[in-house]
Amino acid sequence: MISRKLERRRFPLAAAMLILPLALVPRAARAQDDAGPPPIADTTKAFKAERYANLYQGQFTPGSGFDIIRTARGTLNISFYGLFRYLNQMPAPQTFTDHLGRVRDVKTRNDLNWHRTMVWLTGWFADPKFRYNITLWSLPTTQQTLLFGNLRYLWQPAMTFGAGIGPNLTNRSMQGSWPYWAASDRQMGEEFIRGGFASSFWITGKAPEGFFYTASVNTNISQLGVTAANDTRDMAYSGSMWWQPRGEFGPRNGFGDLEHHDALATQFGISACTSREARYAPDTDPPNGTQIHLSDGLVPFETGALATGVTVEKLTYQILSGDFGAKYRGFSFQSEFSYRQLSNFLADGPVPISMIPDRMFFAEAMHMVVPKYLGIYGATSYVWDDFHRHPWELGGGADFYPYATRQWRLNLHLLHIDKSPASSNFGFYQAGQTGTIFSLGTDILF
């Protein structure tokens, strides 16, 4: 009898212990909602669609990331990118002859590297339309680490204002598609001819009928390695327009049709930039302005680049590019043509030429042979240069997505290149290189 009485007492107590949490859950949920952002914040469908839009930021556009803080006064999200790869440039011993007939060495690479790390702290504060982005960028390959950011005000879809580190709008790949490319870095022709990133103010937006635009003023075409003490009073001015007849071209407007468009999606674009560039260093020192290259891979601000013993101190950089892309049922195609002109040379001695016009074309195509998992691609680029060297490349590779998403990729990249005009430890190329480039890498974006 006593045990039965105890059981009767335990039952109401157990029932109360079960019911109490259930009664508290709605209150806890309401309290959490009260501490969250107002209804117009980026929890709505419209803001989610725009939240990580990449109409202009290029390498500084974060992934979807993880929400760390969400309050009525602001939010914080953290996301990151990482790339590890093996790169081999063959054959190992190489020389090339520059446009003045001088024989130079090619410093080829054969290395394993955790090549690139990027971490983004993003969100809004005070007003959901007021966005911030703090970027940590590290390149162990060159032992460089930078911390910088930008601010945006999303006034309306037709006009967004931004300030901070941003791209010069010289080519389509500078405007948000990274890292959704065929491989982990650009093709030779575009890497040779493009501008870079620098402190800027920009306006971007969406116009009716699938048209988009961006206009930017940058401190120069590449701020990397250039301090304010060495900068000049000149600015870089660039703009871009593009048209997507369907109003979209896949995530980040990038390459590849992992998403499998059942209807043809196309993109047509045009970009232009002009800038008065300098060497950003005394004539007795190596130049800090290294973004611009001649078609033999030399930096025009190096002493002797255009004439023996002569140092170019300033020049005018101008570029006009047109691009086209298409996606349909796992097939994708991307191409671009650029015309670049270097002129108005200011030097400490006579320069035998007054203008250097170069033209570049590149194209790449991919087919998802296993939908959502495996894509095979081919790529080529060619340069019609003023020095009649005619650099070119031809190759391809494969992209494997283990989880059928773009967040994690394995990439195999194989190219034959002839007289590379591109030169950078960021990408695949060294100045003057002729031979084979092999790369095997994996990258993640969260």
Helices (H), 183-274: 188-193
Distance of CA 375 to the CA centre of its chain: 21
Q: What is the pLDDT of residue 142?
A: 81
For residue 303, which amino acid is it?
Answer: T
**310: amino acid identity, one letter:** V
Q: Check residue 82 and give its pLDDT.
A: 96
What is d(CA 446, CA 78) in angstroms, rounded to the nearest whole number? 9
- Measure the CA–CA gap between 59 and 164, rounded to whole angstroms: 13
Find the helix or strand (DSSP H, E) in which 3 lies. helix 2-35
Question: CA of 284: how far to CAs of 178, 288, 310, 311, 313, in Å?
Answer: 37, 12, 12, 9, 11
Confidence (pLDDT) at 283: 87
Bridge partners (DSSP) listed for residue 445: 81
Residue carrying structure tokens 């081919």? 378
Q: Tell me whether residue 4 is in a domain.
A: no
Give the model's pLDDT for residue 399. 98
Number of structural domains found in the chain? 1
Does the residue 156 lie in any domain? Answer: yes
Beta bridge partners of 201: 163, 217
pLDDT at 55: 55
DSSP class per residue in 196-209: -EEEEEEEEEEEGG
Provide the CA 421 distance to its chain's centre, in angstroms.
20
In a domain, 389, yes or no: yes
Give pTM, 2 decimals.
Answer: 0.86
* Angstrom distance (rounded) from CA 130 to CA 107: 46
End-to-end CA separation in angstroms for the chain: 63
Closest CA to 439 of 115, 133, 125, 150: 115
Residue whose tokens read 């394995």: 410
CATH number at residue 378: 2.40.160
CA 350 from chain center: how many Å? 38
Amino acid 58: pLDDT? 63
The two structure tokens encoding residue 131: 């966005």
Q: How far apart are CA 216 and CA 57, in angstroms?
A: 11
Residue 191 φ/ψ, nearest 5 degrees: -60, -35
Asked if residue 30 belongs to a domain, the reply is no
Please name which of 190, 299, 172, 289 lies closest in space to residue 232, comparing C-alpha atoms: 289
164 by DSSP, 3-state: which?
strand
Dihedral sign from CA coordinates of 357, 417, 141, 120: positive
Contact, 414 vs 436, CB < 8 A? yes
Mean pLDDT, 10 residues at a time, the chain of 446 residues: 42 38 36 34 38 57 85 92 97 95 95 94 91 91 87 91 95 93 96 96 93 96 92 97 95 94 98 98 94 97 96 98 98 98 97 97 98 98 97 98 96 98 92 98 95
Pairing relationship of beta strands 236-243 and 265-278 according to DSSP bridges: antiparallel
In a domain, 296, yes or no: yes
Write down the residue that tokens 């390459």 correspond to. 255
In a domain, 130, yes or no: no
Residues in CB range of 302: below 8 A, 6 or more apart: 286, 287, 311
Instruction: Check if the beta carbon of residue 315 is closer than 8 Å to that of residue 342.
Output: yes
pLDDT of residue 6: 39
Range of the domain at 306: 81-116+142-445
The pLDDT of residue 57 is 64
Q: Examine residue 122 and state whether it is found in any structural domain, yes or no.
A: no
| Three-state helix/strand/coil letters over 166-191 | EECCCCHHHCCCCCCCCCCCCCHHHH
What is the spatial distance between Cα 335 and Cα 289, in angstroms, rounded to a whole number? 28
Mark out the alpha helices in 97-237 (DSSP H runs).
188-193
Q: Which residues contact 200 (CB under 8 A, 6 or more apart)?
A: 162, 163, 164, 165, 166, 167, 168, 216, 217, 218, 219
3-state secondary structure of 280: coil
The partner residues of 398 in beta bridges, in order of sequence, read: 376, 412
State how far the Cα of 299 lies from the Cα of 317, in Å rounded to an integer: 13
The reply to whether 413 falls in a domain is: yes
